[in-house]
Structures are given as C-alpha cells and as structure tokens.
Structure 1
Amino acid sequence: MWFAVYQLLWHLLLPFAFIRLAWRTRHSVDYLKHFSERLGFAYGKSITQGSVWIHAVSVGETRAAQPLIEAYLARGETILLTHMTLNGRRTGSALFAQAIAAGQLRQVYLPYDLCWSVANFIRTFKPKFGLFMETEAWPTVVFYCAEIGLPLFLVNARLSERSARRVNRFGKAGRSLFQAFAGILAQTEFDAQRYRSLGVKQVEIIGNLKFDVPLDPNLVQQGKAWQQELHGNQRLMVCAASTRDGEEAIILKAWKDLLLGNAFEIAPLLCIVPRHPERFSEVANQIHDAGLKFRRRSEWGGVPQGVTDLDVILGDSMGEMPMYYSTADLVVMGGSLLPFGGQNLIEACAAGCPVLLGEHTYNFQQAALDAIKIGAAKRIQGEFILSQPIALMEALKELLLNTAELAKMSSAAKTYSLEHQGATKRILAALEHQNFTLN
C-alpha cells in the first residue's frame, strides 16, 4: 500500500521536478541537457550492456568512487556511472575523461524513481550488478532490482543516528528498503550497527573509500607553490572549506574580530570556499558587507599572486580543493559549525593540513573521532551563532600563534590518512565472494 502511495506522490511531484530543473537554468543551461535520461529513455544508439553499474549522486560520492571505478577499469570492465546532479556529472566527466573517450565508461542520469522509468533504464543497460555509493536508497530502484534478481549493493555505506531514527519511523516499510539490498558494505562499526538494527543481515565493515582517493598532483604542486610564496612573506593561510549557508557569516565575523585583535605581526589570510557554486556571488556580497578586502580565485589564471593587501580570498572554483588544502596551514571544516553533519575532512588530512571541527560531524562520525584521537584535528566546543563566534576566533588565534603545534598536527594528519587506506581492496574482495561472476 505504502509503495503505491509513494508512486502516486512521485507522479504528482513530477511537474515540480521539471519546474525546478528549469528554474536552475538561471545558473546553467546544462541543467536541461540529457533531460530524457531522467525519465528513463532516449539514451542514444551506443548502449553497452553488462557493465558494472556505479551510482554516485553528486560531487563527493563521485570523487569517493574514483579508486573503485579505476580498479574496475584496470580489470577491463566497462562502467555505467549514474548521477543525480549536474555537478556530479561534471566531476565524473573530468575524472574519467580518458575512459569515456575510449568507450569504457558511460555517464547517464539515474532516472526519477518511477516504476516505468526505472524498468526501462534497467532493461536498456542490463547491468551486471549495481553499487550505490554511501546513502542512496531509492525504493523503486532497490525493490525492482531485488525482484528481478539484479544484485545491488550499498557500498562505502554510512548511516547517521538521526537517519536511522528517521528510517525506523517508517516502520517495516523503511527497514525493508535496506533489507532488499544484496549486501551493505559499511564504513565503520557505528554504521554497521545501525544497519543491523534495521534488520539487515548482510553487512560488512570495509572502511572509507575516501582514504583511497588520490590528490591531483598538479593541484598539490600549485598549492605548495602558493604556500611557499605566502610563507616567504611570513603569512599563514586558513581555508574555510565546503562552507554551508549560515556558516560564512559566523566565520567572517570571527575572522574580522581576529584581525582587529592585532595579535599578529603579519595578519593571516582567509580562503573561504563555499560548498555550492550557486552561492559564490552571495558569499562575495557577505565578504564585501563585512568590510574585508578580498578577491575571487577566478580573477587569477594560475596560482594567486600578490595577495599581501587582502584579508580574504573567495575560492569560487570547482575541483581545486587539493590546491587549497596544500596551501593552507589550517582548515575550518564546513558543515560542522551548524547542524549539516560536516563535510569530508579526509582530503584535508591527506594533504597534511590540520583541521578544526565544530560539533556537527555525524556524517563523518568515526573519521572525526579518529582524526581527533591521533591529533590531526581539534574540535571547537559549543554551538555557533553569529553573535557569539568567540570560540572559533580563539581556536584560530591559539593555533595560528603556535606553528610548532600546527606542524605536529600536520604530521599526524598525514599518518592518519595513510593508516586508514585499503577500502577499495576490501570492497573488491567482498564482492568477489558473492554469487555472481566478475570478468
């Protein structure tokens, strides 16, 4: 009964999904490209069947899937890579351009979760098996695959305590969704326990794929060149990474108070990188209104030069986080100051950059705890509101005035990153034990 209601709601909401896509064309006309794929048809004549199907909803999941995709490509498998977002698709196009050109990898949008669109998608591509990244669990897709005997796994899977409670509120219907997966390969024991509490029996702990994601060496080199220039001018840089709506105001207030305190002979530089590109202009306005001198990253062709008179750089670029992390002496991790669950701190640690975290890290619970334990990260205590950013300001001041402590945290961050690698191999091994054949 509930599934019929779910389908009815999807059909009723479909016009609003179309309107939303049309509305987003104010940012880019690309939102309407490949529109038919979202309805499960018109994929063109070049269809490769029997591929390994990997679903990575957006940018973070696509980057996390990189080592797994590359492992399958190295084995000669063809890959069907699906996304839900435009930025996820763009990221995949950049990461796997060579495989796409060689015809070894095909990108399409996952269709809307309607019975007829999902069925046509599966019939068209006939994938060998499916791997959904992290948290994706679309009922129509999951139940249809279970019904026709197509193995579908949730890999690099994570489930916060809040999400587990939300699933349980749906009772048997919510629990049956995760029980319908052929297996769940969880990141941590925390995640595995939550899936088991939903009645899932096929659960293994494999670690986090994000530890296996390589940093782009060209971007790392650019970042080190930029850092060398800043350090030559005796200037430190803080990167506020993947910030979310509401967090920039808190960070900018703390930064302004920090600079007004005159605790530094040479003032540090802030680089603020919003999580979503559609907010770049909004954040630029916030920096301007705060009375801070700034320039956009996009104003430079290469590595930013001549920043001695700036208070802030707005990182309005996509795909350059390894450069920002390799430049920075300290990272404030976005999504953790306000209750968004936190963004990925693993990439910063891989670049050897110490991390400051807020209270809200439930999306990366184990990673955050491990990073703090080894000394790669510190947690700022307390809730953040615009009128009281003093805890953030004090934490920044304490570390930026203690370069020896920063160096110690940087070394711990690299150790932490290396010690947690290996999830790719464990996923491949776990899947090879299943009752279907890999080439």
Structure 2
Amino acid sequence: MARYLYSLVFYLITPLILLRLWYRASKAPAYGQRIAERFGFFTAPKLTDTIWVHSVSVGETIAAAPLVKRLQQQHPHASIVVTTMTPTGSDRVKALFGDSVFHVYAPYDLPGAVQRFLKRIQPKLLVIMETELWPNTIHYCRQSSIPVVLANARLSEKSAAGYQRLSWLTGAMLNNLSKVVAQNQTDADRFLALGLPDDHVEVSGSIKFDVEIDNRLIAKAASLKDQWSQQGQRLILMAASTHQGEDEIILDAFKQVLNTLSDALLIIVPRHPERFDQVAGLCAGSFSTTRRSQSHTVDAQTQVLLGDTMGELLLLCGCADIVFVGGSLVDSGGHNMLEPAAWSLPLITGDSDFNFAEASRLLQQRSALLRVSDARMLAEKILMLGESEPLRQSMGTNARAVVDENRGALDRLLLAINALLKSIG
C-alpha cells in the first residue's frame, strides 16, 4: 500500500517536475532535451547479458568509471548500460566511455516508466552508485529477479534519519536490495539500524581511494603548471566544485591573500555549469580574470582563472599547490577530496563534509587536511601553507599516503558483484 501511495503522489507532482526541468533548461538548455528518456521512451541497441550501472551525476560517474572498465574487462560479452539523471553526468559518460557503453537517462520512478525501461534493456543486474534509491525501480527489479547492488554505499546521519521517518515506505525497499557494499562500518551500521538483514551488508571501503591518474594527464598538468606559475614563481590556489554562497567567501579570502602574496593565482571551478557566467561576473568585478573555455593565455597579470570547462577538474587539480574542496562552506556535505589527495596536495575544507566524513577523518588524522569556517580562516590557512613549502610537501605526502593505504575497495566490490552474477548464471 505504501508504494502505491508513493506512486500516486509521484504521478500527481509530475507536472511540477516537468516545470522544474523547464526552469533548469532556461539556465542549462540540456535539461530541456531528451525528456522522453526520463519516461522510459527510447530506442535501445541490441544488448546481451546487460549490466546496468546507475550514477546520478558527475561525481558518481567519475567514481563509477574504474568499476565500469573492470566490468568490461571481466565480462567482455556483456553490454554495459550507464544511466545518469543530469546532463553533466551524461556528458561525463560520453567523455569517459564513448560508444563502449549504452547511455540513457534513468527513468523517473514511476511504475510505467520503470517497466518500459526494464523491458528495453533487460538487465541481469543493477548496480546503483552510493545513495540513489528509488522504491519502484528496486521493486520492479526484484519482481523481475534482477539483483540490485548498492555500491560504494554511504548513508549520512541526516539521510538515515530521513529514511527512518519514512520507514513505512523505505523498509520494504531496503529489504529488496540484494547487497549493500558500504564505504565503512558506520555507513553499514546505519543501514542495519534501518532493518537491512545482516547478510545483505558488506564493508569494502570507498572506491574513490582507487583513483588513478594517467601519465598523459600528469604530463599535461606539469606543462600547464609550469606556464601558469611562471616556472614556479607564483603560488597556485584552487577552489574545486564551489557552490552558490561559497564563491564570495573564497574571493574575499583571496583578496586577503593577495595583500601578502601579491602574485598568487586562483583557479576557481564552480560545481554546476549553469553558474559559470554568474561566477565569472563575480570574479571580473574585483580581479583580472581569464576563462578557461576561451583559451586565453594565463599570464603574469591574470589573478583568477575560471575553470568553466567540463571534465578538466582532475587536470586543474594537478596544476595547483593548495586545494580548497568546495561544497563545504555551505551545507552541501562537501565533494571528493581524494582526487587532489592523489596529486599529493595539501587540502582545505569547510565544516560541512559529511559526504566524505571517513576520508576527511583519515586525512585530518594524518595532518593532511585543514578545516576552516569563514573567509578570514581560509585566508590564514592559505597564507600559512603558501609561505611554507616544506609544510605543503609534508601535508601533500601525507594526503597521498592516505589514498595509497586505503586502496582495494574496487576489488572487494567486484567480488560481491561477480558473486551475484554467478548466482544467477
């Protein structure tokens, strides 16, 4: 009964969802395209032994990339379908995998849309990245004997409380999961507290620790850093994946930094592409600003480089001396701090980092991560690091050590997935 009520409400609010799509399309036109796919209407190629991997947006897609590539190696005859919910996620799938996977938007969690989608791709297994749980999707997979794995699973205290309040709906959904492969024991315990059976939970660690940086990317980053830093004469700061409300704080801090380190360069990369123009205006109002998308030269007069291209975040991290991880000075839970850690860089984050709580704890434990709460503190930490190369090197070495010491989650996740695939033949 609970799921039927949920479905009825979903159908009733569908016009509002479409209205929101239209509004988002006014800022990012891609949201207005391929809407039929969201209702399960699309033409699929011929697929065999399909493994469906669902990643919501950019972060989850990047995290899923090593998993998808390993699945392709281990199951060469299987078709891989990768779904996302956002256009930026869609762009990442195409950039990472090209035509080696079939990409389509995931269906809205409406009974008809989900059933049409399953009929078209006929998956043997569904792998959901991190926390994207939908009652109808999981119900109809279970009804069709399609195992569902929640991979690299995390569950914050806030999200767990929300699931608990909706236990009348989420209880059955969680019990329909075949396996939850959690990032750490705290996440696993929260799933167990919600009623998930003990034998449905495993702890693998986070597959984001398994980040690998390609040698070609390392070489490209080194070349750019040499140019932009004037052969190492300028300190390069990076603010990665910033959110609305953070940019002003970061730019205020940078203004304070320039009072001491007058030739410093700031690379700022907004999380959402629809905000590129807005952030460009903020930067240009106070600083000599260059946009990465316009291919203008970063010279000695450039104070801010706006990273307004897609798919270059990892590259731009490699050009920095210090990285601030965005989504953490506002209540968004922070973003992936392990990519800059893999570059052996010192890290700074705000107080909101619940999306990466375990990684944050490990990095702080090894003195690789500093926390700040406002522009003054951010400026102080940047200056402290900027004026001490040995401190930057020490923190960066410790950050890389945390990444290296926690690798292996991907192998453990694949063992769980392959066991399920073997069980269904």
Provide the TM-score with structure 1 as the length reference.
0.91
1:249 and 1:174 map into 2 onto residues whose CA distance is 39
Paired letter, 1:68: L
Matched, 1:23 2:19: no
**Which of 291, 310, 318 matches 2:302?**
310
* 1:372 aligns to 2:364 (yes or no): yes
- Cross-structure match for 2:144: 148
The aligned counterpart of 2:347 is: 355
Q: Which residue of 1 aligns with 2:86?
A: 85
CA distance 1:233–1:410, change in 2 (3 Å): closer
Write the letter of the residue equivalent to 2:395: M
Q: Unaligned regions of 5+ residues in structure 2, if any?
A: none
Q: What residue is the counterpart of 1:173 in the other structure? A: 169
Residue of structure 1 in register with 2:210 after alignment: 212
SS in 2 for 1:238: strand
In structure 2, what residue type is equivalent to 1:78? S
CA contact (8 A) 1:241 1:272 kept: yes
* Aligned equivalents of 2:21, 2:278: Cα separation in 1: 21
Amino acid of the residue matched to residue 30 of structure 1? Answer: A
Q: Is the 8 A contact 2:290 2:298 kept in 1?
A: no
The Cα offsets for residues 41-85 of structure 1, whole Å up to 9 and x where unpaired, read as: 2325x2314211111111111111111100111120320111111
State whether residues 345 and 393 of structure 2, in contact with CA within 8 Å, keep that contact through their aligned partners in structure 1: no
Asked if 1:295 is matched to 2:295, the reply is no
> 1 CA distance for matches of 2:421 and 2:91?
34
Which residue identity is paired with 1:259? L
Whole-angstrom distance in 2 between the partners of 1:83 and 1:237: 33
Note closer, same or farther for the CA distance 1:258–1:305 as it changes in structure 2 (3 Å cut): closer
Distance 1:365 1:251 in 2: 22
- Indicate the residue corresponding to 1:406 in structure 2: 392
Instruction: Map Cα deviations across residues 208-245 of structure 1 (whole Å, 9 max, x no partner).
Output: 11122323443332221122231525111110000011
Shift in Å, 1:325 = 0.9
User: Quick check: 1:51–1:78 contact (8 Å CA) kept in 2?
Assistant: yes
The Cα offsets for residues 366-405 of structure 1, whole Å up to 9 and x where unpaired, read as 011111112321222xx43xxxx21111111111111110
The two structures, once aligned, show a CA RMSD in angstroms of 1.8
| Residue 335 (structure 1) shift | 0.8
Kindly state the Cα deviation for residue 418 of structure 1 after the two structures are TM-superposed: 1.6
Specify the alignment match of 2:280 in structure 1: 284
Following superposition of structure 1 onto structure 2, how do residues 48-87 of structure 1 map, counting pairs within 5 Å? Answer: 48-75=47-74, 76=76, 77-87=78-88
Secondary structure in 2 matching 1:232: coil
* Residues 219 and 320 in structure 1, CA contact (< 8 A), matched pair in contact too: no
> Is the CA contact 1:216–1:322 (under 8 Å) kept in the aligned structure 2?
no
C-alpha change, 1:394 and 1:197, in structure 2 (3 Å) is: same
Corresponding letter in the other structure for 1:173: L
What SS class does the counterpart of residue 175 from structure 1 fall into?
helix
SS of corresponding position for 1:173: helix
**For the residues of structure 1 that align with 2:335 and 2:380, how far apart are their CA atoms?**
22
Tell me how far apart the structure 1 counterparts of residues 126 and 268 of structure 2 sit (CA, whole Å).
Answer: 37
The residue aligned with 1:392 is 378
How far apart in 2 are the matches of 1:166 and 1:267?
A: 47
Residues 128 and 435 of structure 1: CA distance in aligned 2, closer, same or farther (over 3 Å): closer
In 2, the alpha carbon distance for the partners of 1:72 and 1:317 equals 29
Report Cα offsets for 1:107-126 as digits up to 9, x if no partner.
11111111111112112211
Which residue pairs with 1:255 in the alignment?
254
CA apart distance, 1:438? 7.3
- The one-letter code of the counterpart of 2:94 is S
- Per-residue deviation, 1:30: 3.5
Contact kept in structure 2, 1:53 and 1:131, CA below 8 Å? yes
Query: Residue in 2 aligned with 1:109?
Result: 105
Partner of residue 137 from structure 1, selected from 133, 139, 144: 133
Deviations 1:336-391 (A, max 9, x none): 112110100011111112110111110000011111112321222xx43xxxx211
8 A Cα contact 1:151 1:182, kept in partner: yes
Give the distance between the partners of 1:419 and 1:363, measured in 2 at CA: 20
- The aligned residue for residue 122 of structure 2 is 126
How many matched pairs? 420
Percent same amino acid at aligned positions? Answer: 35
Task: Please give the alpha-carbon distance, in whole angstroms, between the structure 2 residues aligned to 1:438 and 1:221.
Answer: 44
Indicate whether 1:434 and 2:420 are aligned.
yes
* Alpha-carbon contact 1:240-1:271 (below 8 Å) kept: yes
Alpha-carbon distance between aligned partners in 1 of 2:2 and 2:384, rounded to the nearest angstrom: 54
Alignment-mate amino acid for residue 235 of structure 1 = R
Q: Distance in 2 between matches of 1:399 and 1:116?
A: 55
Instruction: Give the aligned partner of residue 189 of structure 1.
Output: 185
Does the CA contact (< 8 Å) of 2:290 and 2:305 recur in 1? yes
> In the alignment, what sits opposite 1:420?
406
DSSP-derived class of the 1:26 partner: helix
**Which SS does the other structure have where 2:241 is aligned?**
strand
Gaps spanning 5+ residues in structure 1: where?
A: none
* Structure-1 residue corresponding to 2:201: 203
- In 2, distance between residues paired with 1:299 and 1:51? 40
Partner AA of 2:226 in structure 1: Q
Residue aligned with 1:433, SS? helix
Whether the 8 Å contact between 2:2 and 2:168 is mirrored in structure 1 is no
TM-score, normalised by the number of residues in structure 2: 0.94
1:340 and 2:335 aligned: no
How far the C-alpha of 1:33 sits from its partner, in A, is: 3.4
